[in-house]
Amino acid sequence: MRPIALGLIKAYKVTLSPYMPGQCRFSPSCSTYAAEAIEAYGVVRGTAMTASRLVRCRPGVEGGYDPAVPDEEFEAVHMHEVHDVPGENPAG
């Protein structure tokens, strides 16, 4: 299910997004936020987080930097992909 959801977001970014005016109140964009949320938390929770983000995207909301995955958590989740190589000592 996750690859399908991420594929739909990628298709949107390639086909429709270039023709939409840049009106993003938040950084990263909602489509990037959705992809990150789904990748980190799964389809159900990621979609719920994205829906909440879309509801906040309206006049009267300041916007700003609003990552799906907090920077510290992102690093903790993804750093093992680089450093946890079997048989290697990450400390040196």
Four-point Cα dihedral 56, 17, 49, 40, nearest 10:
-150
Number of structural domains the chain divides into = 1
| Residue 9's pLDDT band (cuts 50, 70, 90) | very high
Residue 92 in domain: no
Residue 91 in domain: no
Task: Report the distance separating Cα 51 and Cα 74, nearest Å.
Answer: 21
pLDDT at 6 over 80: yes
Domain around 8? 2-83
In tens, the pLDDT along 23-79 reads 788 988 899 999 999 999 999 999 999 999 999 888 888 888 989 988 665 555 555
Please check whether residue 5 is in contact with residue 38, taking contact to mean a CB–CB distance below 8 angstroms. yes
Task: Using alpha carbons, select from 42, 32, 28 the residue that is nearest to residue 12.
Answer: 32
Q: Which two tokens stand for residue 8?
A: 């739909």
DSSP SS3 for 14: helix
| pTM for the structure as a whole | 0.72
Residue 29 in domain: yes
Residue 90 in domain: no
